[in-house]
Chains A and B, each alone.
Chain A
Amino acid sequence: MPTLDHYLVLSAVLFAIGTAGVFLRRNLITILLSIEIMLNAVNLSFVAFGRVLGSADGQIIVFFVMTVAAAEAAVGLGIVIALFRHRQSLNPDMFRLLKW
């Protein structure tokens, strides 16, 4: 039977994959997708802990996290579209005017 540790390890692995995606990819949309992977990993932890404690709180927090992720994805994609209109590229290295 899977125990809490199984779910926590799985959540850790997914979170690390998401982090690697944010570091390694040079495409704005893939970076946003990696952020979604990280948020999902955290959701899994919340539901697992909620299950251990036998309360609905874990699921409710997941509800809020999903809502915030939806809002963030919408605004993030709006920003990506606006950026693309300026430079015709989705490479984050193209937007380096503020870099020292």
Chain B
Amino acid sequence: MILFYLFAAVAVLASLLVIVQRNPIYSVLFLIASFGALSGLYVLLEAPFVAMIQIIVYAGAIMVLFLFVVMLLNAPHEDTEEDLERGVPPPSSGRVKVFGALLAIVLVVELIGVVVASRRAPIAFAAPAVSSVAAIGRSLFTDYAFPFEVTSVLILVALVGAIVLARRESGEGI
């Protein structure tokens, strides 16, 4: 129980810091911390394969991609003085920010309200867990074989698309 609260607190805190930070590199690092906490939660839910895949794929590959892009673009922090000279529109006013925050608060209240209002006994994790990689593999290659193959085509499409989009026209600097 303590572990659950610990991981949950780290995940929520890190996610809040992601959206609050000005420097995009710090945002990426806090998101990695959040993913680590989520991986711990997956271990608590007796899904060790998903936990390791989360670290390998999400925290280890996708976030490295984000980090590369942030470093290569060397993007300035938002809302600097040079922005106004270059014609960037001014940052959203206070009212828009409050409206956005209110929307998020309404969303979370509604979602938690749905969970609470169902008024049933708390469902504990009673059923025996399927945590072995063999079972997941078997299911993946028999029941879910078609989505599996489609996913491979999807990744190929994403690969080609990313290369085409980021290719520079001849003569232009990065």
Contacts and interface: CB of A to CB of B under 8 A. Distances in A.
Interface of A: 1-10, 12-21, 23-27, 29-30, 32-34, 36-37, 40, 43-44, 47-48, 50-60, 62-64, 66-75, 77-82, 84-85, 88-91, 93-94, 96
Q: Is the interface of B mostly helix, strand, loop or mixed?
A: helix
Contact of B78 (A12, A27, A59): A27
Contacts, number: 241
Q: Is the interface of A mostly helix, strand, loop or mixed?
A: helix
A12 B166 contact: no
Nearest to B128: A54
B103 A23 contact: yes
Contact of B123 (A27, A37, A52, A91): A52
Interface string B1-38: 10010001001100110110000100110010011001
14 contacts: A3-B125, A4-B125, A5-B116, A16-B107, A20-B104, A24-B101, A25-B19, A34-B19, A43-B54, A55-B130, A56-B135, A56-B136, A63-B50, A73-B65
A73 B70 CA distance: 13
Contacts of B1: 1-2
Contacts of A71: 154-155, 157-158
A60 B104 contact: no
A37 to B, nearest CB: 5
Size category of the binding interface on chain B = 35 or more
Interface hub of B44, B104, B161 (most chain A Cβ within 10 A): B104
B104 A16 contact: yes
Interface of B: 1, 4, 8, 11-12, 15-16, 18-19, 24, 27-28, 31, 34-35, 38, 41-42, 44-47, 49-50, 53-54, 57-58, 61-62, 65-66, 69-70, 72-73, 75, 78-79, 83, 86, 88-89, 91-92, 97, 100-101, 103-105, 107-108, 111-112, 115-116, 122-125, 127-130, 135-136, 139-140, 144, 147, 151, 154-155, 157-159, 161-166, 168, 172, 174
B92 to A, nearest CB: 7
Contacts of A89: 83, 86, 88
A66 B57 contact: yes
A93 B88 CA distance: 7
A21 B166 contact: no
A44 B19 contact: no
Contacts of A88: 86
A73 B165 CA distance: 13
